[in-house]
A and B are shown apart, each in its own frame.
Chain A
Amino acid sequence: MNEIGLTQVLIVSTILFFIGVYGFLTRRNMITMLMSIELILNSININFVAFNKYLYADKLDGTFFTIFIITIAAAEASVAIAIIIHLYRNLKSIDVDDADMMKF
């Protein structure tokens, strides 16, 4: 188990995180942005679990945090979908560049 080691897991989660960030910054479609956000959140979960297992094996805090994060991600995804649907009704498109009404 420890031959894999904490560092490697962390590197995996970091790469996942930054892939998610790249997707968030680049995608034109709102729903794909949402998917990138889910990727980011998952990478965070991996981080928590890894730290919990390797560094703080006497506590379960990391596990709990992960549970909560999953829960919150679910809630947030549902609200986000609701907003996107509402926006789609007004703008007839889910291109994120069309929602630029809050400019100067």
Chain B
Amino acid sequence: MSNYYIALIPLLPLATFVLLGLFGRKYLSGISGIIGTLSLLASTIISLVTAYNYFFITERVNGVFQPIIALKYTWLQFSANVSIDLGIMLDPISMMMIVVVTFVSLMVHIFSLGYMKGEERFATYYAFLSLFTFSMLGLVLSTNIFQIYMFWELVGVSSFLLIGYYFDKPSAVAASKKAFIVTRFADLGFLIGILILAYNAETLDFGILIERLTDATSPYLINSTASTLLGVSALTWGLVLVFLGGAGKSAMFPFHIWLPDAMEGPTPVSALIHAATMVVAGVFLVARLFPIFAFDVSALTVVTYVGVFSALFAAIIACTQTDIKRVLAYSTMSQIGYMMFSLGISHHGGENGLGYMASMFHLFTHAFFKSLLFLGAGAVIHLVHSNEMKDMGGLRKLMPITHITFLIACLAIAGIPPFAGFFSKEEILMAAFENNKLVYVVAVFTSGLTAFYMFRLYYSIFWSKQSHAHADHGEGTLTMKIPLIILGACALSVGFVPIASLVTSDGAALETHIDYIFSLTPVALAIAGILLATSLYKNENSKPQSIANGLGGFYTAAHKKFYMDELYLFITKNIIFNLIGKAAAWIDKTIVDGFMNLLADVTAEISNLIKGLQSGKLQHYAVYFFVGMIGFMLLFIYLWI
């Protein structure tokens, strides 16, 4: 079949971005939402068709899915071997990702029709959403590591534009700057990692890169492991630096500081970007380069411990936050930590690749229930006009559909069967148990905490005290309810999708079974967490406050997000600004500017001196003429004859 229609998947949103960006505000603002949604609907349908074709119709070779390069176009040729290509790669994880990205984006588009109604810059919002969708699709379909870097940066830009959408709020502007700067700083590491890997393997193409750096006999691998810096091989440096870039985008510790502040953007944006798609880009990157990571155990260890620490760290902070979007943000960070460490403890190939498959499965299910949570929160915020838990409560009567879907999502994330989260979490915990017991213990404890804080959130919004929110406009328009219902259905059902046979570390199908005895522990912990939350939060009482007082300093530190922001501010202000910034400014002002001024002054002085020759006095001119004449005379007579 002709593969060109696959290029439509990212290109349709791009076309929408250009159309709405140029003409939306003036001519099309009424229908821009419809245009955006329709083009994305087309894109979703094409991606579903493509994925279906790939997974079920295209022949597997030896039972293994083959990566298909659908389109390839050489853009910049650096040397005979190294070039930047632009292409579209079809491979199990990219197919899964395009389904997730387009579907969630479509839900967000539909939801925003109702949520953002009445906004003056309605068309701009849809333009930015389309730009983001285009960048994310380009990112997952990349064939070349530089192409992924380009789309990486594009995604960062779209995120910047969308977080700072309400640009007249200084907190939103500050948040968008923070997001961009932190991710950009991490991307510096990413770029250096790319350069190291490309230098060692002399290629930028993913397929060839993986092939060269995983074959134990290849000269590239031997070269890259042989050259070391500070006792760590070049290959490890490259991989760790690339992972740093991924960590920045995925809000892993210590680059997580931008994610809670990014909640300043509109809530559907948070659902799309910061729950389901952009923040998993880091996980996707590690998965894409996974064969190389699997080869280098030290890099993989870094991935594991960063992931597991972020999961625990975020879960603790989430228990203390009162802004519902912040709770969801930390929850995202925690779940992504799960995906990261699951990749970290995995090996490549066959049964040992369980962690990889579990991570991808969790990515898939997480997208659905997290975006559902965010959209539900958006509906609540739309009603109550506030983000704080204390302004909510008892809303279950006012917003029935939101209530039910939110409850489904909470059960899913807590890992209660038969909701989606149960299946993916099981696989992760099983992989952890088989490979690294410490990680398993922390993961199980964190899943208990997850259940606890999610239900704390649920009860605070929908039960607890009697709400004093007046239903001035009902639960929300139809366009806001439909995505909630659809996503709710997905959260119930996607657990049953046989991802294990489709997306695995080496392409071959993996047999998985649910070990019911094994899953007893986490489910029991989850139910315990739910019961604890029920007793503390279902009805308003003073038990939470007394527990908080009992925990004292630890509680305060967790509430203040463990002072990470203050630490960063201290470092930048005192160390970077004073030491580096001031010195650089001094050099610029005194030396560089001074040199320029010196040049200008010297020129002016010389011209002043020369100016004196034009004295206006006739006799001076006559003298110059006469002396010049003598000079020429001497010149011609003695030198030319």
Contacts and interface: CB of A to CB of B under 8 A. Distances in A.
A26 B618 CA distance: 11
Interface string A75-104: 000000000000000000000110111111
B611 A25 contact: no
A99 B618 contact: yes
A33 B618 CA distance: 11
B63 interface: no
A96 B617 CA distance: 7
Contacts of B611: 104
A21 B629 CA distance: 13
B229 interface: no
Contact of B616 (A21, A24, A33, A101): A101
A102 B616 contact: yes
Given A21-B626, A25-B626, A104-B611, A96 B616 contact: no
B619 A25 contact: yes
Given A21-B626, A25-B626, A100 B616 contact: yes
Nearest to A26: B619
Interface residues of B, number: 10
Contact of A24 (B614, B617, B622): B622
Interface string B601-631: 0000000000100111111001100100000
Given A21-B626, A25-B623, A103 B618 contact: no
A103 B615 contact: yes
Chain A interface category by residue count: 10 to 19
Interface string B489-522: 0000000000000000000000000000000000
A104 B609 CA distance: 12
Contacts of A97: 617, 619
Contacts of A104: 611, 614
Q: Which residue, of A21, A25, A99, has the highest number of chain B Cβ atoms within 10 A?
A: A25
Q: Which residue, of A27, A33, A99, A103, has the highest number of chain B Cβ atoms within 10 A?
A: A103
A27 B617 CA distance: 12
A63 B452 CA distance: 127
Contacts of B617: 96-97, 99-100, 103
A101 B619 CA distance: 14
B325 to A, nearest CB: 71
Contacts of B615: 100, 103
A26 B615 CA distance: 16
Nearest to B612: A104
B512 to A, nearest CB: 92
Contacts, number: 31
Nearest to A30: B618
B623 A103 contact: no
A96 B619 contact: yes
Interface in A15-66: 21, 24-27, 33
A22 to B, nearest CB: 10
A24 B618 CA distance: 10
Contacts of B619: 24-27, 33, 96-97
A25 B622 contact: yes
Nearest to B610: A104
A46 to B, nearest CB: 20
A80 to B, nearest CB: 12
Contacts of B626: 21, 25
Nearest to B622: A25
Contacts of B623: 25
Nearest to B611: A104
Contacts of A21: 626
Nearest to B627: A25
B618 A96 contact: yes
A93 to B, nearest CB: 14
A96 B618 CA distance: 7
A33 B611 CA distance: 26
Contacts of B618: 33, 96, 99
Contacts of A96: 617-619
A37 B611 CA distance: 28
A21 to B, nearest CB: 7
A103 B623 CA distance: 16
Contacts of A102: 614, 616
A27 B623 CA distance: 12
Contacts of A101: 616
Nearest to B625: A25
A96 B623 CA distance: 14
A65 B611 CA distance: 41
A25 B611 CA distance: 21
A78 to B, nearest CB: 19
Contacts of A26: 619
Nearest to B619: A25
A96 B616 CA distance: 10
Nearest to B607: A104
A89 B619 CA distance: 21
Contacts of A100: 615-617
B596 to A, nearest CB: 26
Q: Which residue, of A24, A97, A101, A104, has the highest number of chain B Cβ atoms within 10 A?
A: A104
Q: Which residue, of B611, B618, B622, B626, has the highest number of chain A Cβ atoms within 10 A?
A: B618
A27 B616 CA distance: 16
Contacts of A103: 614-617
Given A99-B618, A102-B614, A104-B614, 10 more contacts: A24-B619, A24-B622, A25-B619, A25-B622, A27-B619, A33-B618, A96-B617, A96-B619, A100-B616, A103-B615
Interface of B: 611, 614-619, 622-623, 626
Top 9 nearest A-B pairs by Cβ distance? Answer: A103-B616, A100-B616, A102-B616, A104-B614, A104-B611, A100-B617, A103-B614, A103-B615, A25-B623
Interface of A: 21, 24-27, 33, 96-97, 99-104
20 contacts: A21-B626, A24-B619, A24-B622, A25-B619, A25-B623, A26-B619, A27-B619, A96-B617, A96-B618, A96-B619, A97-B617, A97-B619, A99-B616, A99-B617, A100-B616, A100-B617, A101-B616, A102-B616, A104-B611, A104-B614
